[in-house]
Amino acid sequence: MNRSPLENKPLPPEDRVGYALVGLGKLTLNELVPAFRLSNCSKLTALVSDDREKALEIARGLGLEEKDVYDYADYDRLAERPDVNAVYIVLPNALHREYTERAARIGKHVLCEKPLATSPEDAETMVRACAEANRLLMTAYRMQYTPQLWAARDLIEKGDLGRLKFIEAVDGQTEDDPGAWRLKRDLAGGGALPDIGLYCLNTARFLTGEEPYEVFAYQYSTPGDERFKEVEEAVYWTMRFPSGAVAHCTCSYDVAEAKYLRAHGQKGWLSLDPAFSYEGLRLEVVTEEGREVRQMREEDQFRLEIDHFSECILGGKRPFTPGEEGVQDQRLMAAIYQSAAEGKPVRVERLEGKDLFRGAPPRRG
Amino acid sequence: MNRSPLENKPLPPEDRVGYALVGLGKLTLNELVPAFRLSNCSKLTALVSDDREKALEIARGLGLEEKDVYDYADYDRLAERPDVNAVYIVLPNALHREYTERAARIGKHVLCEKPLATSPEDAETMVRACAEANRLLMTAYRMQYTPQLWAARDLIEKGDLGRLKFIEAVDGQTEDDPGAWRLKRDLAGGGALPDIGLYCLNTARFLTGEEPYEVFAYQYSTPGDERFKEVEEAVYWTMRFPSGAVAHCTCSYDVAEAKYLRAHGQKGWLSLDPAFSYEGLRLEVVTEEGREVRQMREEDQFRLEIDHFSECILGGKRPFTPGEEGVQDQRLMAAIYQSAAEGKPVRVERLEGKDLFRGAPPRRG
Amino acid sequence: MNRSPLENKPLPPEDRVGYALVGLGKLTLNELVPAFRLSNCSKLTALVSDDREKALEIARGLGLEEKDVYDYADYDRLAERPDVNAVYIVLPNALHREYTERAARIGKHVLCEKPLATSPEDAETMVRACAEANRLLMTAYRMQYTPQLWAARDLIEKGDLGRLKFIEAVDGQTEDDPGAWRLKRDLAGGGALPDIGLYCLNTARFLTGEEPYEVFAYQYSTPGDERFKEVEEAVYWTMRFPSGAVAHCTCSYDVAEAKYLRAHGQKGWLSLDPAFSYEGLRLEVVTEEGREVRQMREEDQFRLEIDHFSECILGGKRPFTPGEEGVQDQRLMAAIYQSAAEGKPVRVERLEGKDLFRGAPPRRG
Amino acid sequence: MNRSPLENKPLPPEDRVGYALVGLGKLTLNELVPAFRLSNCSKLTALVSDDREKALEIARGLGLEEKDVYDYADYDRLAERPDVNAVYIVLPNALHREYTERAARIGKHVLCEKPLATSPEDAETMVRACAEANRLLMTAYRMQYTPQLWAARDLIEKGDLGRLKFIEAVDGQTEDDPGAWRLKRDLAGGGALPDIGLYCLNTARFLTGEEPYEVFAYQYSTPGDERFKEVEEAVYWTMRFPSGAVAHCTCSYDVAEAKYLRAHGQKGWLSLDPAFSYEGLRLEVVTEEGREVRQMREEDQFRLEIDHFSECILGGKRPFTPGEEGVQDQRLMAAIYQSAAEGKPVRVERLEGKDLFRGAPPRRG
């Protein structure tokens, strides 16, 4: 490569990092495929799915060929493909571990959808597997690559809001398909918490740069609602951070869509509303100087995330949201469930320091 | 009286309920005096204060005379004033009980600022004192008389939001006067909770019509901050209601002003932002049909509250927010403090039913 | 008087300027009577109406007596009332002249609703009549007394928006009562233009401080609409100011309510939306530093206006919006109608200078 | 082709319409190249530019080769390229005619940036040239392909706003590069009007579906401002439509960015704010039922426009915004300039009927 990917110009296709997309659900079709089309240093070179018909159709639209379409049994044959440098795993949560381990074994870097796994132990195993194979593992926390969240973090860091005191975060939507894998415990590992509550958890950690040391949670499922027989409908929790800041978080699978976050400081506050959506993130800042909406060019969040990983691969850097970042969230989610089950606050290890589990910050626009 | 006060026309001055305003602080001067000027069935006939100079000046602007100005020692002499039917107590919280009891003894109805008292026991005593004297006691919960909150409650009641699932409420501001009586335990009885957190608590109860049966709370004061040596800076708490609904509430004396509430249901949600301010309450409703701001004529909140009490006095009705409504909030605040102190959830008596402590609803515009 | 009315404290009733309200329509009942209740240096001492029943009822609510109620035939007997220092004329436009002249003759100051008259000639006559009687005449342009419009004007004056280039102003509403006097030419003198279009005209002049020298207008009435047989439904006009600034203005009696104004400069712009309503004026400013809503305490606009006039009477000052300010608008409205009739631009005298027709600026909050 | 492009699925690259992009300015780089990356039935197969270095670099990022890069002298050699079905002309306005005629001669369809030309005569010539060559010509009016504008048009058409009465449209920005070709008369043909004012004009025509029959305009350039020696800084104009509706339009090259449009009807109104930007179009609707923001998935406007043209080419349909649509705008702009020059209204042919110059409506999402 004779050109730095850092110039924000598209690399020639032959210089880009090649990916196999593993799993062809709605997220892949509606978000990831368009993101790859817009990417600067990434390209799709293979698809993995058991729905060969669908996979072939998508492949055709992308200019790929029959040979680029794999099924899950074939997966390990990606080893033979030098133009597949990494896999992007978009499978039900419970399969993340297996497909990460297999990818590491055949020498591929791994970008894995969130949540990283269905338990802290699985997540740790995945980190180890990639480390031993000397491959990069990144948790696909798209939010941590958005200009809006970085602008929010900068505001807090620079002290524009004064000392941060508390965060309110809500991620609610309606899960109305009783057959969805997200409602099966053995596939999803949990309900609203790992799917959407994780955004509240992860964003609160990102904005503060801190790690919570205590959580208290209520969990709720409407009695008799068939959808929530295996996994929870909603979790309401509170987290305490070493600085004294507190976060109230709420996730629910049975409310009209609502996704917002507010961070309150001594001298001002900021609102992200909507906060966790794929597009249209809106940052508003209220200080003594008034109320201001920060207008930003809309960026494809998934493109930013994928290109960050490609840049790390090309440049040999640790991703900003590596496997370890996902492991920490798994530990905290386990503590949240434990608190809800025991009816009392649960302490986790108290860690001081900033961005303890994160790698190289993403390039700023 | 030959005219119903229900027609929303000003009564002739001689037919109105006469009040003595007890305490001439900022709230009295900036809000209550103008509210009385606008009222339809209430009038100011006396002022009680130890700052005679100030009291006389205000009296002059109102067209009152020297004889209409009392000091606290004189208070019981209001007995001799047939044109003083009620007192409006605007004193530090710890004095509410004494001045209510004395008023009841001399045969006056009592409109008492919130919080009703500094303990459930005191509040209960006040209720008893007024009952025994056959006088009305009303807690001055102005929010419960606003068209915006009633519109919000109607939406929930009619099911426009579907089943209500959770409420997020924040009331934060900066208390920067270290000498304020609100920061003295013996005068205020507590810090941010009884002063501003009470709005979150009380409004959540009003909107649901329900009584919480369990609370969990964190309490926080910045180490070393002189302002919060006696009372707390902030309380973060969660409440569970019999219907399954949950409320996250936050109050803080050390953040940039932020007052909002959101109530989330299966089919929609509503936002009050600002939620607890004296004016400019803004109700926004989000349902499948879109996002809509409900425009309403601005009404003076204190006038609505005062005239409600006057109508109850004229018509012999129990106020919508009687003493009992204040007592219940005192019990819940005691439970919140207990939870914060013990580090675990605290249960209170589980009560089923709607508006258990409320009287006749206020007249609607 | 031993106390300056400038301290924003209520004067004792006996020191205030006494007014007779002339005309008891909706504006009087809903806006002016409450405004007098809130005023600091004004008081209502008499009512003038031919509906004695209604007048007496209002009087009773105000604590006035039978003797304080006059009919139009009686009007000149106000001469005998030393406690009536001024009249506030709230009659159909065509009567403004007569009641102003009669008031001047009996030695009363005159606050006259807008538009000042139904022709430039009548308006000039009114100015002369008051001047000769050595009485003050003020056009009741409430907008020019609002903190929001002053904040907007300050922004422009200080150059925060850079050089002002153009203004867009719309005042539209539905006039659906075919019997309204506003739709009768002989009472109103015109249709949407003098009633609501005048706000666009007058506010553009206020914000720039300039006088337009050319206008071009289209006038429109829906064919066959009975409401607009005598007066126009809508006027669309453009004005050019000496500085080069241009204003597009629109008024209509047949659209859903819409009242806004935007002023655009080289470096930023401001929006008033709503712009001309009795309450809830909202000022938003967009500059390089962002988009900001200026939050202001809601003030009763009519109180500000009335108290300004009272202060002028007490202090012997020329009002900020004297009769001459109203005369100039009459001249411009005449030019607008002429342009619409002739189908070409109409020039008026080109005047250079700032605030050429205005008096002492109102006291700022 | 065995698959309809109407299913909104990407066609295999070999089935797509191939384009040569002619002109590599900022619009091409920032908007058009990404749009092609996202397109479903279009692909870039050649670039035309005199800056060979830059063109090669872009080509590399796109996976194109040296042979795919042409200079303007080479342009006619595109005739030899069967994989170039159409050209997209993104050159200074004055060159549109020549490059359209040459394209038609070599058998290519033409998508031409707006304004179509620098005079009605040139525009008509272009239409004829393409018709004679039996090639399609489309004016690149991206706004007419956005979901937001179609939603606005639907609202008006269905009568949700009642009868439409007037439109206010503003398109202002700062043109601060004195060397820009947009400020040269011989390249641009005009100043703010054909560049940005055209959006106001064209959108007003699109929303009403009507053709104006009379215009009145003021034109303005700040005296002494070097930027506006050849072309105008701003135009303020008014248009009358056969239905009685009126539009006030404003365009300016010397104000802080402001792009909005409001359409007012008897029963409601709609706001597009921002209105003409490349992204973030925001449609708000105000009716008796409240105020509602219509949330829509952000779509790449240029992709919609380009794919519409490709679908027309593939399906043999007349584009929604063919050359004739551009011709009509040229005629109206000529009338606007004439009005400003003569200082009086100018009439154009009065045309009745809907969408008189438009072809097949674009596919709706």
pLDDT digits (tens, 9 = 90+) for A55-67: 999 999 999 999 9
Residues D141/D202, Cβ–Cβ less than 8 Å = yes
> Would you call B274 helix, strand, or coil by DSSP?
coil
Q: Write out chain C residues lying below 8 Å of B32, CB-based.
A: none
Residues A279/A298, Cβ–Cβ less than 8 Å = yes
Task: Please list, residue by residue across C308-326, b when 16 or more beta carbons sit within 10 angstroms of its beta carbon and e when fewer do.
Answer: bbbbbbbeeeebbbbbbbb
pLDDT on residue D289:
81
Q: Which of B293, B294, B296 to mutate to test the interface with D (most CBs of D within 10 A)?
A: B293
Q: Write out chain D residues lying below 8 Å of A34, CB-based.
A: 38
Q: Distance from B266 to chain D by nearest Cα, in Å? A: 19
Report DSSP state, residue B363.
P
Tell me if the bond preceding A274 is cis, omega within 30° of 0: yes
* Residue B296 pLDDT class (50, 70, 90 cuts): confident
Query: What residue has token string 């004739």?
Result: D324
Closest by Cβ to D252, choosing from C166, C234, C248: C166
Q: Write out chain A residues lying below 8 Å of D297, CB-based.
A: 279
Q: Which of D298, D301, D302, D304 to mutate to test the interface with A (most CBs of A within 10 A)?
A: D298
Query: What residue has token string 């029943």?
Result: C53
Residue C292: which of A229, A116, A293, B275 has the closest Cα? A293
Q: Distance from B328 to chain C by nearest Cα, in Å? A: 33
Q: Which of C11, C57, C60 to mutate to test the interface with B (most CBs of B within 10 A)?
A: C60
Query: Counting Cβ atoms within 10 Å, is residue C291 exposed (0-12), middle (13-18) or buried (19+)?
Result: middle
- Which tokens go with C300? 């009763």
- Which tokens go with A299? 């960026």
> Would you call D283 helix, strand, or coil by DSSP?
strand
Task: Please list, residue by residue across B234-251, b when 16 or more beta carbons sit within 10 angstroms of its beta carbon and e when fewer do.
Answer: bbbbbbbbeebbbbbbbb
Q: Distance from C83 to chain D by nearest Cα, in Å? A: 46
Residues B223/B232, Cβ–Cβ less than 8 Å = no
Is the pLDDT at C8 greater than 80? The verdict is: no
CB contact (8 A) between residue C60 and residue B280: no
Verify whether residue A199 is a known catalytic residue: yes
Number of Cβ pairs closer than 8 Å across A and B?
121
Q: Which chains touch C (3 or more CB pairs under 8 A)?
A: A, B, D
Q: Write out chain B residues lying below 8 Å of D292, CB-based.
A: 289-292
pLDDT on residue D8:
56
Residues 6+ apart with CB under 8 A from D196: D171, D172, D173, D251, D253, D276
- Which tokens go with A241? 């951070």
Residue C144: which of C228, C203, C69 has the closest Cα? C203
* Sign of torsion over alpha carbons C309, C310, C311, C315: positive
DSSP string, D162-193: -SEEEEEEEEEEE---TT-GGG-HHHHSSSHI
Q: Write out chain D residues lying below 8 Å of C162, CB-based.
A: 256
Average pLDDT over residues A41-66: 96
- Which tokens go with C40? 């600091």
CA distance D228 to D183: 7
Q: A88, A99, A199, A337: which one is catalytic?
A: A199
Chain A residue whose CA is closest to B240: A218
Closest by Cβ to D293, choosing from B285, B291, B294: B291
How does the average pLDDT of chain A come out, rounded?
95
Q: Distance from C352 to chain D by nearest Cα, in Å? A: 18
Q: Write out chain C residues lying below 8 Å of D218, CB-based.
A: 216, 238, 240, 246
Q: Distance from A285 to chain C by nearest Cα, in Å? A: 10
CA distance D65 to D56: 8
CB contact (8 A) between residue B236 and residue A246: yes
Backbone angles phi, psi at B312, to 5 degrees: -65, -40
Residue C196: which of C240, C231, C165 has the closest Cα? C231
Average pLDDT over residues A110-133: 98
CB contact (8 A) between residue A289 and residue C291: no
Q: How far is CA A171 from the centre of its chain?
A: 14
Is the pLDDT at B219 greater than 60? The verdict is: yes
- For residue C20, the surrounding DSSP H or E stretch is strand C17-22
* Residue A288 pLDDT class (50, 70, 90 cuts): confident
CB contact (8 A) between residue B246 and residue A218: yes
Closest by Cβ to B264, choosing from A168, A172, A244: A172
| Ranges in chain D, pLDDT < 50 | 1-7
Is the pLDDT at C6 greater than 60? The verdict is: no
Q: Write out chain B residues lying below 8 Å of A161, CB-based.
A: 256
Is the pLDDT at C30 greater than 50? The verdict is: yes
Residues A272/A285, Cβ–Cβ less than 8 Å = no
Dihedral angle over CA of B309, B313, B314, B316, nearest 10 = 120
Is the pLDDT at A2 greater than 50? The verdict is: no
Is the pLDDT at C5 greater than 60? The verdict is: no
Closest by Cβ to B293, choosing from D291, D294, D295: D291
Q: Which of D216, D235, D344 to mutate to test the interface with C (most CBs of C within 10 A)?
A: D216
* Residue B180 pLDDT class (50, 70, 90 cuts): very high
Residue B128: which of B354, B348, B322, B361 has the closest Cα? B322
Inter-CA distances, C154 with B128, B308, C271, C360, Å: 57, 42, 14, 16
Number of Cβ pairs closer than 8 Å across B and D?
19
The interaxial angle of helices C147-158 and C198-208, nearest 10 deg, is: 40
* Residue C3 pLDDT class (50, 70, 90 cuts): very low
pLDDT on residue D7:
42
Is the pLDDT at C2 greater than 60? The verdict is: no
CB contact (8 A) between residue C289 and residue A291: no
Residues 6+ apart with CB under 8 A from B302: B31, B32, B34, B35, B142, B278
pLDDT digits (tens, 9 = 90+) for D60-105: 999 999 999 999 999 999 999 999 999 999 999 999 999 999 999 9
* Residue B2 pLDDT class (50, 70, 90 cuts): very low
CA distance A187 to A117: 10
Closest by Cβ to A298, choosing from D10, D295, D298: D298
Chain D residue whose CA is closest to A29: D9
Chain A residue whose CA is closest to C290: A292
Q: B43, B108, B114, B259: which one is catalytic?
A: B114
Q: Write out chain B residues lying below 8 Å of A343, CB-based.
A: 344-345
What pTM was computed for the model? 0.93
Backbone angles phi, psi at A239, to 5 degrees: -130, 145
pLDDT on residue B278:
94
Q: Write out chain C residues lying below 8 Å of B37, CB-based.
A: 37-38
CB contact (8 A) between residue D292 and residue B292: yes
- For residue C239, the surrounding DSSP H or E stretch is strand C234-240
Residue type, D117: A
Residues 6+ apart with CB under 8 A from A239: A201, A204, A212, A214, A215, A246, A247, A249, A332
Side-chain-facing half-sphere of C144: CA atoms under 13 Å: 32
Query: What residue has token string 């959506």?
Result: A277
CA distance A105 to D361: 53
Q: Distance from A144 to chain D by nearest Cα, in Å? A: 21
CA distance C80 to D158: 63
Closest by Cβ to B12, choosing from C34, C63, C297: C63
Residues B110/B130, Cβ–Cβ less than 8 Å = yes
CB contact (8 A) between residue D291 and residue B289: no
CB contact (8 A) between residue D63 and residue A13: yes
Closest by Cβ to C236, choosing from D234, D246, D256: D246
> What number of helices (H) and strands (E) belong to chain D?
11, 15
Chain B residue whose CA is closest to D296: B290
pLDDT on residue C316:
95
pLDDT on residue C365:
64
Q: Distance from A137 to chain B by nearest Cα, in Å? A: 36
Chain D residue whose CA is closest to B293: D291
CB contact (8 A) between residue B162 and residue A286: no
CA distance D80 to D45: 13
Residue D136: which of D363, D360, D365 has the closest Cα? D360
Q: Which chains touch A (3 or more CB pairs under 8 A)?
A: B, C, D
Q: Distance from B69 to chain C by nearest Cα, in Å? A: 15
CB contact (8 A) between residue D262 and residue C258: yes
